[in-house]
Amino acid sequence: MFCDETSNVIRKARASRPCGVLQAERSLTLSISSLHSSIGDDTESKDRQKPVQSTPSYQYTDDRTIQNSFMLHLSRGIRPSIEDHANGFFFSEYVFGSLGTFEYLQHSYNLCIDDEHLSTCIRAVGLGGLSKSLHSSYIMERAMHAYASAVQSTRRSLQSSAATKDSTLLSVMLLDCFEALTESNEFQVRKGRPKTIHMNGAMELVKLRGSQQFQTYVGMRMFCQIVSQITVNCARSGIAIPAEILALRVAIKSRLNTAQRPTWHISGIVTKIVNFNAAISNGILNEPAEIIASASQFDNELAGLQEEMPSEFHFDALSFEDNPDLVYEGHCHIYKDFRIAQTWNLIRAHRVLINETIYANSQRCCSTIPEIDKHDSTLISCRSKAAIKQISTEICATVPQQAGYLAALKPAPLSSESKAYDEMSHAIPNTRKMSSGQGSGDSRGCIIADNVSYPPSQRQNNGLALKAAAYSLLWSLYIVGRCPLSDISLRSWVINRFKYIGHTFDISQATTLANLLEMREDKNVWSVFSMLGSYSRVPEDLKLR
């Protein structure tokens, strides 16, 4: 007869494992189990966002078939190693999960397993993200070793005939992602993230690949992603976007379905604004009148996008009284999805910045031109200041819903007649009050605009979706809070909202921004953008024709 020695074998195996491995595995198991229990089985949310350095969730979506194939390939043993968990973390968060930074890899599984340098980079980013999530110095040490190996393997690939392959470009992007992920928030903001060598390399690869990179779906998505990052880097450094990149952006437009999609048009205007600011920084453009004329044109283009938003981007406005700490000046917006609110706020934030330029240069005109001509400059100053005030209020109006406390607000008494909301005329719609016991559980006791469609993720109070929505507020709110023309009450309101978001959702970047505003440190807004997420997910509206 055979004796069952299973328990003894397990005990001896555990005793022989290094202490650091055991501690990491215990924290990993506890973290994953606790996250699963708190999240549940909600698979309805498809939310995507920029990389978030605060604790993400380790959860799988409803695409069981594809994800099981990944995990079967990655986990060869009965008990997965930390590296296996890191690979699973990468695909769960950055491909299938709420971050969705490299969501397009769902369509190219073979790309991830056929190239050694790419799989090494994926493991490094997975370990880096996992170490930040679990606050594990041991896993971070493993991540740094994986990163060193990834750099070496990618260098070998760049020196071979595979230099222009999709996998090589993606490897370079992952190396840059790793550096952004493992740097602290304060370092990125205060030092401006000087380590851009990987992104510079990616830019040279994009130039080398030319229009041939648009022949694959992954190649097109990577190009759009890299152009976004190049735009941010150039804006932060005060330099113009390379002409070769702009030419390739024009070339790819014919392959994308951009009709009625505002995100592509916003990015086009932003590239022009970046080059405009570079011309000012380099002294090429110096006359106040010329600067005002160009800036006004950009503001008109952005305002035009607001007027021409597709119907699915429309929103409703509510009014609340007696909640000044939660609702700025009583205004609140309701959107069908947090990404729609983020798109609106992206336009608004750029309009605030461009109107700051208009105001500053109109003040220059007032101090230099003859007295008889000062009337026009004064009028321009007043208009730009009023525009900043109104746009800032609209950004703040997105906070209650996206920060998740809409249902806790006390409604203002309004009539029950329904009207459409027109942002440009600033009309406040009529709404109805949901009394206790009427309507859905999340709606009781607050004002609900007629015909408002709530996202399933927000109706069900899904933690991941709420965290992503709250995170999407940070950059636009920072633009409002740091604006020199914002009054003290508005700045204080923004600081308090940052503290609320940081505490409620455990988002350290919000706390960092609150501290910056309290110390009145006017940091480069694009350095802040980089700190919040070096890789913007390419919007889903950029589909192949």
Query: Pick from 183, 106, 103: which is nearest to 143 by CA?
Result: 183
Q: What is the CA radius of gyration of the chain?
A: 25
Give yes or no for residue 313 having a pLDDT over 70.
yes
Type of residue at 445: G
Stretch among 98-107, 122-131, 250-259, 488-497 having the lowest mean pLDDT: 98-107
Type of residue at 415: S
Give yes or no for residue 119 having a pLDDT over 70.
yes
What DSSP designation does 412 have? P
Helix (H) or strand (E) holding 148: helix 137-158
pLDDT tens by residue, 187-200: 444 444 445 678 78
Confidence tier at 522 by pLDDT (50, 70, 90):
confident
- Give the pLDDT of residue 212: 87
Give yes or no for residue 451 having a pLDDT over 90.
no
Q: What angle, 0 to 180 degrees and rounded to 10, lies between the N-to-C axes of helices 217-237 and 525-532?
A: 140
What DSSP designation does 95 have? I
- Give the pLDDT of residue 463: 64
**Please, how many CA atoms are within 13 Å of residue 411, restricted to the half-sphere of its CB?**
21
Say how far apart CA 59 and CA 37 lie, in whole Å.
10
Mean pLDDT for all residues in the chain: 74
Contact 327, 320 (CB under 8 A): yes
Whole-Å CA distances, 505 to 89, 300, 332, 342:
20, 36, 21, 18
Query: Pick from 275, 283, 342, 340: which is nearest to 312 by CA?
Result: 340
Give yes or no for residue 33 having a pLDDT over 70.
no
- Give the pLDDT of residue 543: 37
> For residue 34, what are the contacts with CB-CB under 8 A and spacing of at least 6?
none
Tokens of 521: 């440190």
pLDDT higher for 209 or 377?
Answer: 209
Contact 530, 188 (CB under 8 A): yes
Say how far apart CA 398 and CA 331 lie, in whole Å.
9
pLDDT higher for 181 or 310?
Answer: 310
pLDDT tens by residue, 230-288: 999 899 999 999 999 999 999 998 887 776 678 889 999 999 999 999 999 999 999 99
Secondary structure, 3-state, 487-542:
CHHHHHHHHHHHHHHHHHHCCHHHHHHHHHHHCCCCCCHHHHHHHHCCCCCCCCCC
> Quick check: helix, strand or coil at residue 445?
coil
b/e burial code for range 7-27 (CB count within 10 A of at least 16 → b): eeeeeeeeeeeeeeeeebbeb
Predicted TM-score (pTM) of the model is 0.72
Say how far apart CA 544 and CA 117 lie, in whole Å.
28
- Phi first, then psi: give them for residue 316, nearest 5 degrees: -115, 155
- Give the pLDDT of residue 421: 31
Question: For 142-160, what is the mean pLDDT?
Answer: 91
**Please, how many CA atoms are within 13 Å of residue 90, restricted to the half-sphere of its CB?**
28
pLDDT tens by residue, 410-443: 655 443 323 333 332 232 233 333 222 222 223 3
Say how far apart CA 151 and CA 170 lie, in whole Å.
13
Say how far apart CA 350 and CA 190 lie, in whole Å.
22
Query: Pick from 341, 337, 345: which is nearest to 458 by CA?
Result: 337
pLDDT higher for 97 or 501?
Answer: 501
Say how far apart CA 154 and CA 119 lie, in whole Å.
10
Give yes or no for residue 359 having a pLDDT over 80.
yes
Stretch among 90-99, 274-283, 367-376, 402-411 having the lowest mean pLDDT: 367-376
Say how far apart CA 348 and CA 331 lie, in whole Å.
16
Stretch among 61-75, 244-258, 272-286, 331-345 having the lowest mean pLDDT: 61-75
> Quick check: helix, strand or coil at residue 332?
strand
Type of residue at 370: P
Say how far apart CA 213 and CA 206 lie, in whole Å.
8
What DSSP designation does 315 have? -
b/e burial code for range 31-42 (CB count within 10 A of at least 16 → b): bbeebeeeeeeb
- Give the pLDDT of residue 11: 53
Confidence tier at 540 by pLDDT (50, 70, 90):
very low
Say how far apart CA 21 and CA 505 lie, in whole Å.
29
Confidence tier at 351 by pLDDT (50, 70, 90):
very high
Helix (H) or strand (E) holding 39: helix 19-39
Query: Pick from 537, 320, 340: which is nearest to 455 by CA?
Result: 340
Contact 294, 254 (CB under 8 A): no
